[in-house]
Amino acid sequence: MLEPRLEIYAVCNVDAVPDQRCKPFTLVRLENGRSVPWQIIILRWGRKFFGYVNRCPHQGSPLNFEPNQFFDPSRRFLMCGRHGAQFDVKTGACVEGPCQGQGLTPLRLIIDDGDICIASVTLVEQGSEQGIDPDGTMEIMIHPD
C-alpha cells in the first residue's frame, strides 16, 4: 500500500543553524481556517537537528526571554526565560521547573538537499489561493526572528 505524499516546507539551510545553537522562526500556520503566527525553534546538536514549538507548556509563553536566548547558563538545556523551566535538548522533556512531566511540542524535521524542512503541518503559503506561484514552486512565509 502506498503512503500518501508527505508535504514538506523548507525553513532554512542547514548552515543557518550553528552547532549547539538555536534559531527561532515565525511561520504562518492554518488553524481552524484562520492564518495565525506560529513560533518555532530549530537547534543543532552535532550532526542532529531538533525542532520545537517555541512555547513553554507551563503558561504558553515563548522560551526566549531575550532575542536568541534559549539556553540555561551551562548551555546544556533549553530554558524558559519566564519561569526557569529546563528542557532536554534532544527530547524536549521538562527536566526541572514548574512543568515537570510535560515537554515542548516537537516538530517533524526532514533534511532535504541541505535544507531543514518541516513536515506534518499545514502552513499558509504565499502566492495564489492554492499556494502555487506562477512558476510552479511553493513558497511559505518564514520570518527569522
What tens digit of pLDDT does each residue of 16-35 get? Answer: 999 999 999 999 988 888 89
C-alpha cell belonging to residue 101: 512531566
Buried b / exposed e across 106-119, counting CB within 10 Å, b at 16+?
ebebeeeeeebbbe
Q: d(Cα 94, Cα 112) in Å, to the nearest integer?
A: 29
Residue type, 45: W
Residue type, 91: T
Pairing mode, if any, of strands 77-79 and 48-53?
unpaired
Closest CA to 51 of 7, 6, 91: 91
Indicate the burial class of 25 (C-beta count within 10 angstroms; 0-12, 13-18, 19 or more): buried
pLDDT in tens, 27-67: 998 888 889 999 999 999 999 999 999 999 998 899 997 88
Q: Which residue has the cell 503558561?
A: 59
29 neighbors 143 (Cβ within 8 angstroms):
no
Instruction: Find the mean pLDDT for residues 79-87.
Output: 93
